[in-house]
Amino acid sequence: MATNRSEGKVETGKGLRIGVIGGAGWLGGAIAGALLDTRVVEPQDLSLSYRRAHPGRFPGAFWTSDNQALADRSDVIILSVRPADWPDLKVNAAGKLVVSVMAGIRLDVLCERHQTRRVVRSLPNAFAEVRKSYTPWVAAADAGEADRAVVRTIFDACGFQDEVGTEGEIDYLTGLTGSGPAFPALLAEAMMSDAVAHGLDRQVARRAVNAVLVGAGRLLEQRDDCPTETVKTFLDYRGTTAAAIEEMIKAGFGTAVMRGLTAAFEKSVRMGETS
């Protein structure tokens, strides 16, 4: 990766300097690992910050507890901290590209706080750890095409990405894709509890449930079918799966999911209002 610093723009090429504020955290570390694995950034051009103890990861990268020092040596600054901790983060990123992966924090607020108009708001998820994150993002008006190309490169390294048109779409997707990795885990927990209640060994139940979820994900990915069509296929077969689906729908499965997504959306909006 290369940079055009004289014009205040970031361009793809060799030598792009990226800083991850919160690089010791789960998501920040996952993004950093993806960038290194795909050679988007070389270790000597990667800066990461930590709050307490040096993590000892990513040999050759620059680690610091001084977030401003990280910003000063970076062309692109990824903000990967808890939204509740962000108000205490004082970093001047004048003229630089800032990419937030925090839920709720608005573009205009990020621009004002970090003294740059080149800001992107994004929402990767925990699947970045296995390079399967879906990342929606939206850019401020002053982020140019070169900046957008860098953002696409960063999040393609983590999985898949889409630029969306509005912050409202990001707020909705906070629940659908940002929180989404927790939902299959919640389903798996319920399935596993039922299996154990029916007398299965806990380890057998865990392996069985995990195999179901992993297999379903691979099937949907490879066939690229609409989930509606997959459900219809099972219902049309009129076997045990159809009986299970119909009972879950009757019990309010769809309503529960919609209520959860609405709660996540409303939480994202409130977080933005209080920031």
Rounded Cα distance, 123 and 29, in Å? 15
User: Across the strands, what pairs with 138?
Assistant: 121
**pLDDT reading at 247 higher than 70:** yes
Rounded Cα distance, 270 and 264, in Å? 10
Task: Provide the token pair at 178.
Answer: 């940002």
Q: In 60-181, which ranges are continuous DSSP H helix?
A: 67-72, 107-114, 145-158, 167-173
Q: Are 168 and 195 in contact (CB under 8 A)?
A: no
Q: Would you state the pLDDT for residue 170? A: 93
Q: Of all helices (H) and strands (E), which one includes residue 214?
A: helix 202-223
Identify the structural domains of the chain with CATH numbers, from first to last.
Answer: 2-164 (3.40.50.720), 182-274 (1.10.3730.10)
| Mean pLDDT across 134-147 | 96
Rounded Cα distance, 223 and 218, in Å? 8
Strands 9-11 and 2-4: antiparallel
Comparison of pLDDT for 147 and 273, the residue scoring more: 147
Q: Would you state the pLDDT for residue 270? A: 86
Q: Would you state the pLDDT for residue 2? A: 39
Query: Over pLDDT 70: what percentage of the chain?
Result: 94
pTM of the model: 0.81
**pLDDT reading at 219 higher than 90:** no
**Which pLDDT band holds residue 6 (cuts at 50, 70, 90)?**
very low
User: Across the strands, what pairs with 50?
Assistant: none
**Which pLDDT band holds residue 229 (cuts at 50, 70, 90)?**
confident
Q: Would you state the pLDDT for residue 14? A: 58
Rounded Cα distance, 167 and 21, in Å? 22
User: First vs last Cα of the chain: how many Å apart?
Assistant: 33
**pLDDT reading at 42 higher than 60:** yes
| Mean pLDDT across 94-120 | 96
Residue 144: how many CB atoms within 10 A of its CB? Answer: 16
**pLDDT reading at 192 higher than 90:** yes
Q: One-letter amino acid identity for 222?
A: Q
C-alpha dihedral (50, 83, 16, 69), degrees to nearest 10:
-50
Q: One-letter amino acid identity for 55?
A: P
Starting at the edge strand that comes first in sequence, how are the strands of the sheet with 18-21 ordered?
A: 62-64, 46-49, 18-21, 76-79, 97-100, 119-122, 133-139, 159-163
Q: Would you state the pLDDT for residue 275? A: 62
Residue 235 has φ and ψ, to the nearest 5°, of -65, -40
**Which pLDDT band holds residue 180 (cuts at 50, 70, 90)?**
confident
Q: Would you state the pLDDT for residue 268? A: 84
Task: Output DSSP code: residue 144.
Answer: -
**Which pLDDT band holds residue 221 (cuts at 50, 70, 90)?**
confident
Q: Would you state the pLDDT for residue 178? A: 84
Q: Would you state the pLDDT for residue 53? A: 87
